Amino acid sequence: MKILLVGSGGREHALAWKIAQSDLVTELLAAPGNVGIDQEPKCKSVRVSPNDFSGLLDLAVKERVDLTVIGPEAPLVAGLTDVFVANGLNVFGPSSGAALLEGSKVFAKDLMKKYGIPSADFESFDDYDKALRFVKSARLPVVVKADGLAAGKGVFVCNRLEDSIEALDKIMNQKIFGAAGSRVIVEDCLEGEEASFIAFTDGVSVIPLASSQDHKAIFDDDMGPNTGGMGAYSPAPVVTQQAHDRIMNDVMLPTVKAMESEGRPYTGFLYAGLMIRNDEPMVLEFNVRLGDPEAQPLLVRMKTDPIPLMLAALECRLGSQSITWDDGAAVCVVMASAGYPGSYSKGEVISGISAAEEINGIKVFIAGAASSPHGVVTAGGRVLGVTSLGKNIPEAISKVYEAAAKISWNGVHYRKDIGRKALSRS
């Protein structure tokens, strides 16, 4: 099989690395790919943008691609799956109608309210003055969210009224997220511990991946602004067997059924960001793709070939499939450019990747880096995802930080507490 993988980040490098291991796969084209993907067996980057739908379609037809896998959310929400399906091509990823589950937080919250899927109470606004009046009377803390896609950065946890007003101003007046901030949600702030729960679904059956936990804030102890994710680990001990069963029965399966009832059948990765307290899950958000950086530790632990799972999903026979996992644990630490998630410089020379990968159980996934005459250099905010596999969480943490310490560039920044919450539960 020839695979087309759309995307260029750390998630896509992890997917390319995993998919290329399949005995079914002869070649993988990544559009636009990255310097890390180019180093993987069977893989080649093709400089076509994820937003260039006609270019991607031409590439898939010309190369006689057997299956396209879409990594990032933006082309899914914009309808890339629809374009490919209309042209008779196999593509793993939800339609634009189904991808609205991530494309609009207002849609997602309304859906959850309608179908009784547990989530925080909320109000939505497309008028700044009305939103301002509401937050002035709301009980603190509250969470203010931009309605549309904001690369994981459109969420503000507000402990003071001043924080709420500032968040509304940034989203609705300053338009720091563009059109994504035309509407906002103001919702109750939930207590508990966060977890990521991701699954394959064919619109009927749901096959869950292992549990994982992301770390959104830029600094240790979950301080500072939100990012696209500064690290993740799997499994997440907060997802006990009881919590797992409730997530499946109260969140995942009802959501898939709700989407079918709404005339938006869902096929692809379905990701529920959850707050868990006393084994009771509450949905913070839905994503319509594999998480990043959750993909890195999940795919390192995953022993099953993902290609048969994707094909089964397209043929609505996912219920006959299963996934096996390494019994150990995996941890991913994201190494970022100084200044991220704000402005940052590019072109800083990176050293030590090879030395890090000499450590047993370490894989370095490229996110925002590029080749240059001077070697590999930084080219994004989140640059690398250093990922370890160990027999347990403590060993995986020890390995990943040993590896990260061998990598450097001018201004490198990374959190030093990825996985600490898991240790407190061990």
User: Considering the domain boundaries, does residue 69 fall inside one?
Assistant: yes
User: For residue range 219-275, what is the model confidence (pLDDT) as tens digits?
Assistant: 999 999 989 999 999 999 999 999 999 999 999 999 999 999 999 999 999 999 999
Examine the domain organization and report whether 19 and 71 are in the same domain: yes
| pLDDT score of 214 more than 90 | yes
8 with 76, same domain?
yes
For the cut 80, the answer to whether the pLDDT of residue 408 exceeds it is yes
Give CA angle at 303 (299, 309), nearest 5°.
80
Per the document, the length of the chain is 426
Q: Tell me how far CA of residue 181 lies from CA of 46, 107, 134, 247, in angstroms.
A: 33, 14, 17, 29
Assign residue 410 the CATH number of its domain: 3.90.600.10
Q: Round the average pLDDT of the chain to a whole number and report it.
A: 97
Q: What is the pLDDT of residue 424?
A: 83
Q: Is the pLDDT of residue 152 over 90?
A: no
CATH (domain of 172): 3.30.1490.20
**Mean per-residue pLDDT, 176-186:** 95
pLDDT of residue 426: 65
pLDDT for 425: 78
Do 88 and 152 reside in the same domain of the chain?
no
Please check whether residue 107 lies inside any domain of the structure: no
3-state helix, strand, coil in the chain (%, to 5): 35, 30, 35
What is the percentage of the chain residues whose pLDDT exceeds 70?
100
Which residues, 6+ apart, have CB-to-CB distance to 22 below 8 Å? 1, 305, 306, 307
Residue 283 dihedral angles phi and psi, to the nearest 5°: -80, 125
Residue 345 pLDDT level (bands cut at 50, 70, 90):
very high
Q: Are residues 252 and 154 in the same domain?
A: no
161 and 208 fall within a common domain:
no
- The reply to whether 116 falls in a domain is no
Strand extents, DSSP E, 245-348 = 268-277, 280-287, 329-336
Record the tokens describing residue 396, joined without a space. Answer: 């995986």
- Domain of 38, CATH number, reads 3.40.50.20
* One domain for residues 218 and 279: yes
Residue range 391-402, pLDDT digits in tens: 999 999 999 999
pLDDT value, residue 153: 85
Which pLDDT band, with edges at 50, 70 and 90, does 360 fall under?
A: very high
Q: Is residue 114 part of a domain?
A: no
pLDDT tier, 86 (very low <50, low <70, confident <90, very high otherwise)? very high
273 and 204 in a common domain: yes
Task: Assess whether 201 and 285 both reside in one domain.
Answer: yes
Give the mean pLDDT of 403-425: 95
Mean pLDDT of 45-72: 98
pLDDT tens across 278-305, in order?
999 999 999 999 999 999 999 999 999 9
CATH number at residue 273: 3.30.470.20
Is 103 a member of any domain?
Answer: no
Distance CA 87, CA 105 (A): 30
For the chain, the C-alpha Rg in angstroms (whole number) is: 20
Residue 270 lies in a domain: yes
Q: Which of these, 184, 187, 188, lies nearest to 106 by C-alpha position? A: 184
Distance of CA 254 to the CA centre of its chain: 21
What integer is the mean pLDDT of 329-334? 98
Give domain status of residue 101, yes or no: no
- Residue indicated by tokens 């750390």: 10
Domain count, the chain: 4
Together in a domain, 77 and 147: no
Shared domain check, 92 and 11? yes
pLDDT at 28 over 80: yes
Q: Do 52 and 158 share a structural domain?
A: no
Note the pLDDT of residue 151: 82
283 and 349 co-located in one domain: no
Q: Please say which residue of 156, 188, 220 terminates a domain.
A: 188
According to DSSP, the β-strands at 91-92 and 67-70 are parallel
* Residue 379 domain boundaries: 329-424
In Å, what is the CA distance from 272 to each residue of 13, 293, 366? 22, 14, 25
Which of 188, 215, 246 is the last residue before a domain boundary?
Answer: 188
Domain stops at, among 300, 320, 340: 320
Residue 110 domain-assigned (yes or no): no
Q: Which residues contact 276 (CB under 8 A, 6 or more apart)?
A: 192, 193, 194, 195, 238, 239, 243, 282
CA distances from residue 261 to 94, 110, 119 in whole angstroms, order as listed: 16, 14, 19
